[in-house]
Amino acid sequence: MSLLALRDVSRTYDDGQPVHALRATTLSIDAGQYVSVTGPSGSGKSTLLNVLGLLDEPTAGSYRVSDTETVGGGQRLHGAVRGQLFGFVFQAFHLLAGRTAVENVEIGMLYGPLRRRQRRRRAEEALDRIGLAHRMHADPRRLSGGERQRVAIARAIAARPAVLFCDEPTGNLDSGNTANVLALLRELNDQGLTLVVVTHDPDVAGHAGRRLQVIDGTVREQ
Ligand X SMILES: Nc1ncnc2c1ncn2[C@@H]1O[C@H](COP(=O)(O)OP(=O)(O)OP(=O)(O)O)[C@@H](O)[C@H]1O
CA dihedral 110, 111, 112, 118 (to 10 degrees): 20
Contact, 179 vs 146, CB < 8 A? Answer: no
User: Rounded to the nearest whole angstrom, what is the least distance from the CB of residue 220 to ligand X in the complex?
Assistant: 14
Contact, 139 vs 97, CB < 8 A? Answer: yes
Q: For ligand X, give the closer residue by CB, 108 or 169.
A: 169
Q: Which of 35, 39, 153, 180 binds ligand X (CB under 6 A)?
A: 39
Q: Does 46 bind ligand X (CB under 6 A)?
A: yes
User: Rounded to the nearest whole angstrom, what is the least distance from the CB of residue 156 to ligand X in the complex?
Assistant: 19
For residue 121, count CB atoms less than 10 angstroms from its CB and return exposed for 0-12, middle for 13-18, buried for 19 or more.
middle
Which segment (37-45, 93-101, 125-133, 152-160) binds ligand X by CB under 6 A? 37-45
User: Rounded to the nearest whole angstrom, what is the least distance from the CB of residue 212 to ligand X in the complex?
Assistant: 12
Q: Which of 43, 149, 180, 194 binds ligand X (CB under 6 A)?
A: 43
Q: For ligand X, give the closer residue by CB, 25 or 47.
A: 47
Alpha-carbon distances, residue 70 vs 46, 57, 79, 133 (angstroms): 19, 9, 11, 37
Q: For ligand X, give the closer residue by CB, 49 or 132.
A: 49
Q: Does 199 bind ligand X (CB under 6 A)?
A: no
Instruction: Give the closest residue to 24 by CA, choosing from 73, 50, 72, 59.
Output: 59
Q: For ligand X, give the closer residue by CB, 44 or 53.
A: 44
d(CA 164, CA 35): 10
User: Rounded to the nearest whole angstrom, what is the least distance from the CB of residue 44 to ligand X in the complex?
Assistant: 4
Q: Does 10 bind ligand X (CB under 6 A)?
A: no
User: Rounded to the nearest whole angstrom, what is the least distance from the CB of residue 47 to ligand X in the complex?
Assistant: 3
Three-state DSSP at 188 gives helix
Concatenated DSSP letters for 115-156? -HHHHHHHHHHHHHHTT-GGGTTS-GGGS-HHHHHHHHHHHH
Q: Does 169 bind ligand X (CB under 6 A)?
A: no
User: Rounded to the nearest whole angstrom, what is the least distance from the CB of residue 139 to ligand X in the complex?
Assistant: 30
Binding-site ranges for ligand X (CB under 6 A): 13, 15, 19, 21, 39, 41-47
